[in-house]
Amino acid sequence: MDITRRQFVRLCGGTAAVVLPFGLTRCAAPRPAHELIEDVEWKKGLADAAVRIATSRGATFADVRVVRNLIQTIAADDQAIKGVPGEWHYGSSPEHVLEKVDIGFNVRVLKNGAWGFVASPVLSEDEAVAVAGLACDLAEKAALTVPEPIHLVPEPVHVDTWVTPHEEDPFTVPLDEKVALLLRINEEVRRNPQTDRAFSWLDFWDENKFYANSEGAEIQQRLVRSDGSFFARARVGGVTAQRRFFVNPLNIGYEYIRGLDLPSHAERIAAEAVEKAKAPIIDFSGQIDVVMDPQNICLFEHETIGHPTELNRTVLVETNFAGSTFLAPEDMGSYEFGSPVTNFVGDRSRPMLRSTCGYDDEGVKTQEWDVVREGKLVGFQTTREFATYVGEEASRGCCMTESWDRVPQGRMPNLSLEPGGQDSPSPEELIADTRRGLLFRGFSSRIVQDYQRRYHTYTGNAVWEIENGRTTRMLRGAHYYGKNPSELWHRLETVTNPASWEPAALDSDDIGQPTQRNHNTHGAPWARFRNLNVGGPAS
Amino acid sequence: MILTEQQVREIFDTAFAAATADEVELSMAWYHEVNREVVCGSTKVIRFSNSYIRDDTVVMPCHPLQVHVAFGSREGAAITNQLDPSGIRDAVARAEAIARAASPNESHRSLHGPEEYPEIPGFDEATAALTDEERHEAVAGVIERLQAEGLNGSGYFHVDDTLEAHANSAGAWFYRRATKTGYAVTVRSDDTTGRESSRVGSGWAAVGDLRRFADLDIPGITDVAIRKALGSVDPQPFEMGPHTVVLEPSAAASFIGLLMRLWSGSARTVGAWGSPSEAGTRVASEHLNLSTHPGHPQIMGSPYGPGGRPLGERVWVENGVLRNVPGGENGPAVHLVGDGGSKSLEEVIAGVDRGILMTQNWNTMLRTIDPPHVNGMTRNGLFRIEDGQLAGPLQNAWYSLRLDEFANNIEDASRPYKAASFGSSGLNGNLMPALRVANFNFYRPSEAV
């Protein structure tokens, strides 16, 4: 009897087939996980075993993820390659110089209308069988509490391979080269004698994700992420200030880092750190026009539109930690979220953006959709479970899990403010058109917002006064604030042209119990808001 | 299965044999990444929302190996969860490659040799052996009650069976098993969502970092949250400005955490670093006492400190005076006990003629270091106190104050209670007092519930 490779692998319990003389075969010693993770056929066998157990137990749906995350973080604190306690920026800075390998798989089943989820770092078919059975046990118990069975909206069956387009694998670039780059950046920053510290970092991810489900989906994906940047810190007259060079983190290879020429920006950033340290504290409180650059809008839109339109928040799924939202499912199609130039698009398909991939973590092909169109709320972030809450018959593809040991959740995709038309102003023209206002550049983690995202206070990494169409001097401590969206997005008056749109992104975003990280882009043009509330640190 | 001491020794031996670095330090232990906590061992979680179980999850035992190496003072680190020989050797090679590429670390510290660690049993066999059926039963009763009473409940119940092991090339060795469990629940008086939810009542209660499941009173904790939810329906506005506030232990914990960072010099805001306070100075009113106590019966924490030093008892603040500065040779401010005396929370409330009771807070963070300016907002139950009694719910509000003034305005404190941090994985259950604080400044009402 002939047996297929997959059947043979299964028989061997996850070990390799070794071909012996005379056509005989035998099972070899267990193969290490780093080999198995590259063997798509083997992963199909593992998933097949788990799914068969789940469906034989009566699960109406089962899916399997086999995941390897490879992470490399390198940071330089002045001329020392080491980690430092962070809070340099949103989230916190890399605290370790390290490489991390994390491999495992999980099985999620929907049985009797409830979920069960089990994860394991042991890659073997025996383990997959055990894990799938346990997931069914858990679902059966959970089902005893579920008033209405969970249903999933349909999704076509996809069998595909998807890889982040990239030219140069960041993990093949020698460490020496990366270290030399960081040290040179810091050296260039410290040429300015009024700086007292430079900090730079590089951060790379390589996610190998295999997904299969009981409907027949088999999807192999590889996501490559590259990020890196630096800060300059100045100390003048007892005042310390830092200025960050904002790189837009992307899903791309090391060619992105090479193209940034990070050291060439060090002189300007150092000078701006000094200027910031010398800047006066804002002494104005009231309403004024505010211009924001894409990196300042990035965090602002993440919190004010991103979290509120997570559909699972609207139905109180995250109440015990992250909170809920001021929006409700029935707001879709009618709620006036912003001014007529307020257009937000959700996507996981635009090239190079942080959340971009071929398929989400429950096999949904990624796409692009309107969340706010001409100021009106028209879309939410959905998964196969939650799409029906807003009457939709298909998921937007927002199911994500950070790694093999975390349960899939609805998470924020790329969510971006759209630019104006070609006849819209450039950033320079926007500033030139502003008689009196403030310019906020870059985001800062020193924000405050409530757990329903009703009210917000933000600042920037650097703030300038605008007088008669020109930026004049920097200010420290300036914040803008207001009720969301009536005192914020309703006051958006102008967005700049398509050429000014940038794929700004946060370093990290976390949610859930236990917490999971997420990567997403919040692209934006430059924008001007009329009469925003502005004040000092106590705003 | 959680790795035995012998299995860990074999894994460590493989790593030591593969290493060429001058110094090698190996760990298998809980660790924190940016926005993510990693358990070394197994973790089982039931998460419910809308009063039904959303996720019942089991993560099988996983033992991430952390490899730290140094060539001279050049350091490198790697982590792997693949413990076959090739995976271990790969992690060592990765760490060494980083160390070779790194520049010298001026603050590099040489390894400590063998140390004696106090025996602090943190492992409870019954908790480790808790079945999935028993875990389910533990929450099924409260879910049934929430459903029967038409309440909207969201909860997080975890049981961890963990391992902590360390060894280094100077001969140090440490191995300890520990169990950990905790529960946090938010109850809303109904399932109203969106902007219409401002009148909804919401209550929260939690206990974190227990070693024994038998000590975790899930029905009792839920009952507290239910009472707060029902008691906070239709909250009323109140006058912004300074008030006398009683912070329940979990609410006090977030301020005490910030204070410890302020005094240790580890407080951070964007681009600004704090500097440590001087031992012997008065940093708070006489009602504040804080110490590290790993062996406290309600903590039973790990005695393994940074760099392999034994972590013993240490007084940080005594009657408002900073006796030792947290950090460095003094060790970290973990396994905290804040002992305010013998009063109960109710007795602290009873001592307030007119004030406000704060159950929990959110987003409390330092906005500036100098002065140490903090703001944040209340969450899940804010109540008026009149003549020592709770006198009705109040709307949530934002507050803004100086942390140093907060510490000096502490007028009373309770005995320590097992507290919990808000929301994240471990729930971080230090023993915290309730605090009565004068001139606690509210500046903006909030419609958020």
Convert the pLDDT of each residue in A377-389 to its tens digit.
Answer: 999 999 999 999 9
Nearest by CB: B55 against A76, A117, A445: A117
* Partner A, chain B 67-86, Cβ-Cβ below 8 Å: 74-82, 84, 86
Structure tokens at A526: 């430059």
Shortest Cα–Cα distance, B448 to chain A (Å): 6
Cα distance between residue B193 and residue A452, in whole Å: 10
Q: B44 by DSSP, 3-state: which?
A: strand
pLDDT of residue A2: 41
Whether A94 has a pLDDT exceeding 60, the answer reads no
Contact A316 B48 (CB under 8 A): no
**What secondary structure does DSSP assign to B355-394, as a single string?**
EEEEEEEEEEEEEETTTTEEEEEEEEEEEEEETTEEEEEB
Interchain pair A320, B53: CB under 8 A: no
Number of other CB atoms surrounding residue B419 within 10 Å:
27
**Residue A323 and residue A469 in one domain:** yes
Query: Mean pLDDT across chain B, nearest whole number?
Result: 93
Q: Residue B236 domain-assigned?
A: no
Same domain, A192 and A298: no
Residue B313 near residue B330, CB atoms below 8 Å: no
A306 lies in the same domain as A343: yes
Q: Give the one of B82, B94, B362 whose C-beta lies nearest to A32's C-beta.
A: B82
pLDDT band at residue B390, thresholds of 50, 70 and 90? very high
Whole-number pLDDT of residue A27: 43
Share of residues in chain B with pLDDT > 70 (%): 97
In a mutational test of the B interface, the residue from A74, A84, A101 whose CB has the highest number of chain B CBs within 10 Å is A101
What pLDDT shows up at residue B365? 85
Q: Distance from B271 to chain A by nearest Cα, in Å?
A: 5
Check CB contact under 8 Å for B81 and A509. Answer: no
Which residue type does B427 have? L
Most A-contacting residue of B44, B82, B88, B378 (CB-CB within 10 A), to test interface: B82
| In contact, B32 and B38? CB cutoff 8 Å | yes
| Total domain count, chain B | 2
In the structure encoding, which two tokens stand for residue A110, read together? 């929907």
Touching check for B22 and chain A: CB below 8 Å?
no
Identify all chain B residues contacting A270, using CB atoms and an 8 Å cutoff: none
pLDDT reported for residue A14: 42
Cα-Cα-Cα-Cα dihedral sign, residues A384, A389, A393, A394: negative
Pair (B246, B225) in one structural domain: no
Quickly list H helices, B178-241.
218-231
Kind and range of the H or E run holding A33: helix A33-36
Where a domain ends, among A245, A278, A311?
A: A278
Q: Which of B173, B198, B231 is the last residue of a domain?
A: B231
**Interchain CB distance below 8 Å, B84 and A33:** yes
Nearest chain A residue to B62, by CA: A121
Type and span of the H or E element at A450: none
Q: Are residues A202 and A330 in the same domain?
A: no
| CB pair distance less than 8 Å for A446 and B270 | yes
Per the CB < 8 A criterion, the answer to whether B316 and B377 are in contact is no
Q: How far is B166 from chain A (nearest CA, A)?
A: 18
Residue B261 has pLDDT above 60, yes or no: yes
List CB contacts of B17: < 8 A, sequence separation 6 or more. Answer: none
Indicate if B271 and B215 belong to the same structural domain: no
Number of structural domains chain A divides into: 3
The pairing of strands A239-245 and A218-236 is antiparallel
Closest CA–CA distance from residue A167 to any residue of chain B (Å): 23
Task: Note whether B160 and B214 are same-domain residues.
Answer: yes
Q: How far is Cα A129 from Cα B446, in angstroms, rounded to an integer? A: 51
Whether residues B28 and B115 fall in one domain: yes
Domain with A245, as residue range(s), is 40-278
Examine the fold and report which residue of A233, A257, A278 is the final residue of a domain before the chain moves on: A278
**For residue A92, which residues of chain B lie inside 8 Å, CB to CB?**
34-35
Q: Do A517 and B34 touch (CB under 8 A)?
A: yes
Q: What's the pLDDT at B293?
A: 95
Q: Tell me: the pLDDT tens digits for A192-210? A: 999 999 989 899 999 999 9
Are the Cβ atoms of A119 and B58 closer than 8 angstroms?
A: yes
- Check if the beta carbon of residue A347 is closer than 8 Å to that of residue A413: yes
The interaxial angle of helices B85-101 and A175-189, nearest 10 deg, is 30
User: Per-residue DSSP letters for A62-117?
Assistant: EEEEEEEEEEEEEEEETTEE------SSSS------EEEEEEEEEEEEEETTEEEE
* CB–CB contacts below 8 A, A to B: 308
Judged by CB atoms closer than 8 Å, whether chains meet at A515 and B35 is answered as: yes
State whether residue B62 sits within 8 Å of chain A by CB.
yes
- Is A203 in the same domain as A170? yes
Phi-psi map region of B32: left, alpha, beta (phi>0 left; psi -120 to 50 alpha): beta
Using CB atoms and an 8 Å cut-off, which of residues 279-338 of chain B contact chain A? none
8 Å CB contact of A145 and B47: no
- Residue A24's pLDDT band (boundaries 50, 70, 90)? very low
What phi, psi does B68 have (nearest 5°)?
-115, 130
Task: Answer whether B105 sits within 8 Å of A538, measured CB to CB.
Answer: no
Contact B244, B442 (CB under 8 A): no
pLDDT band at A1 (very low <50, low <70, confident <90, very high): very low
pLDDT for the residue numbered B108: 80
User: Which of A82, A119, A141 is the closest to B105 by Cβ?
Assistant: A82
Same domain, B203 and B247: no
pLDDT, tens digit, for every residue of A472-504?
999 999 999 999 999 999 999 999 999 999 999
Residue ranges of E strands in A246-343: 286-292
Cβ neighbours around A210 below 10 Å, total: 24
Above 70 in pLDDT, residue A91?
Answer: no
CATH number at residue A48: 3.30.2290.10
Q: Is B158 within 8 Å of A514 when comparing Cβ atoms? A: yes
Q: How far apart are CA B225 and CA A160, in angstroms?
A: 48
- Could you say which of B207, B231, B255 is where a domain stops? B231
Share of chain A above pLDDT 90, in %: 81
Confidence of residue A344 (pLDDT cuts 50, 70, 90): very high
Same domain, A207 and A305: no
Q: Are B101 and B190 in contact (CB under 8 A)?
A: no
Q: How far is A425 from chain B (nearest CA, A)?
A: 32
Amino acid A95: pLDDT: 46
Residues A61 and A133 in one domain: yes
What is the domain range of residue B73? 5-231
Is B403 part of the contact surface with chain A (CB cutoff 8 Å)? Answer: no
Closest CA–CA distance from residue B126 to any residue of chain A (Å): 20
**Could you tell me the CA-to-CA distances from A33 to A15, A386, B86 in Å, in that order?**
10, 34, 10
**Shared domain check, A220 and A93:** yes
Rg (CA), chain B: 23
- Whether the CB-CB separation of A286 and A534 falls below 8 Å is answered with yes
The answer on B253 and B127 residing in a single domain is no
Using the structure block, give the residue that is written with the tokens 């692009």: A368
Average pLDDT (B282-301) is: 96
Selection from A463, A413, A464 nearest residue A443 by Cα = A463
Q: Are residues B17 and B153 in the same domain?
A: yes
For A513, the closest of B61, B423, B443 (CB atoms) is B423
First-residue to last-residue Cα distance in chain B: 42
Shared domain check, A485 and A398: yes
If we measure between CA atoms, which residue out of B182, B223, B49 comes closest to residue A142? B49
A429: part of which helix (H) or strand (E)? helix A427-432
Please answer yes or no on whether B197 and A324 come within 8 Å at the CB atom: yes
Q: In this complex, which of B87, B100, B107 lies closest to A34 when CB atoms are compared?
A: B87
Convert the pLDDT of each residue in A164-182 to its tens digit: 999 999 999 999 999 999 9
Among A76, A146, A516, select the one facing B53 at the smallest CB separation.
A146
B217: pLDDT confidence band, cut at 50, 70 and 90? very high
Which has more confidence, A16 or B47? B47
Q: Residue A21: its pLDDT value, please?
A: 37
Last residue of a domain, one of A231, A258, A278: A278
| Same-domain check for residues A435 and A454 | yes
pLDDT for B424 beyond 80 = no
**Residue B56, SS3?**
strand
Residues A117-139: what's their mean pLDDT? 97
A148 bridge partner residues = none
- pLDDT-derived band at B109, boundaries 50, 70, 90: confident
Per-residue pLDDT, averaged over B388-411, amounts to: 97
CATH code of the domain in which B76 resides: 3.30.2290.10
Longest dimension (CA), chain B: 70
Q: Do A80 and B104 touch (CB under 8 A)?
A: yes
Residues B170 and B256 in one domain: no
| Same domain membership, residue A163 and residue A59 | yes
Cβ–Cβ of A145/B143 closer than 8 Å? yes
Complex ipTM tops 0.90: yes
The predicted pLDDT at position B101 comes to 86
The answer on pLDDT for A454 being more than 90 is yes
> From A183, which residue of chain B is nearest by alpha-carbon distance?
B103
Q: Looking at the predicted structure, is the pLDDT value of residue A85 above 50?
A: no
Concatenate the DSSP letters of all residues of A370-413 into one string: EEEETTEE---B--TTTGGGGT-SS--S-EE-SSTTS--EE---
Tell whether B175 and B252 lie within a shared domain.
no
Rounded mean pLDDT, B138-158: 97
Confidence (pLDDT) at A250? 97
Q: Is the pLDDT of residue A448 over 90?
A: no
Using CA coordinates, name the residue in chain A closest to B423.
Answer: A321
Closest Cα in chain B to A308: B194
The one-letter code for the residue type at A173 is V
- Min Cα distance B97 → chain A (Å) is 8
Cβ separation of B103 and A131 shorter than 8 Å? Answer: no
pLDDT for A360-369, tens place per residue? Answer: 999 999 999 9
Q: Give the number of residues written for chain B.
A: 449
Question: Do residues A103 and A195 share a domain?
Answer: yes
Higher-confidence position of B63 and B30: B63
Residue B107 has a pLDDT of 75
Top mean-pLDDT range of A231-245, B21-35, B232-246:
B232-246
Residue at a domain's end among B209, B231, B253: B231
> Which of B42, B51, B53 to probe by mutation at the A interface, max A CB count within 10 Å?
B53
Q: Do A316 and B425 count as a contact with CB atoms less than 8 A apart?
A: no
Report the SS3 class of residue A368. Answer: strand
pLDDT at A19 over 80: no
Interchain proximity A99–B94, CB inside 8 Å: yes
Is residue B209 domain-shared with residue B286, that is, in the same domain? no
B267 and B124, same domain (yes or no): no
Element at B410 (helix H, strand E) = strand B410-413
Q: For residue B266, name the pLDDT band (cuts at 50, 70, 90).
A: confident
pLDDT in tens, A270-303: 999 999 999 999 999 999 999 999 999 999 999 9
Residue A35 pLDDT: 92
Residue B93 lies in a domain: yes
Give per-residue pLDDT as tens, A390-437: 999 999 999 999 999 999 999 999 999 999 999 999 999 999 999 999
Tell me if A33 and B185 make a contact (CB, 8 A cut-off).
no
Tell me the residue type at B109: R
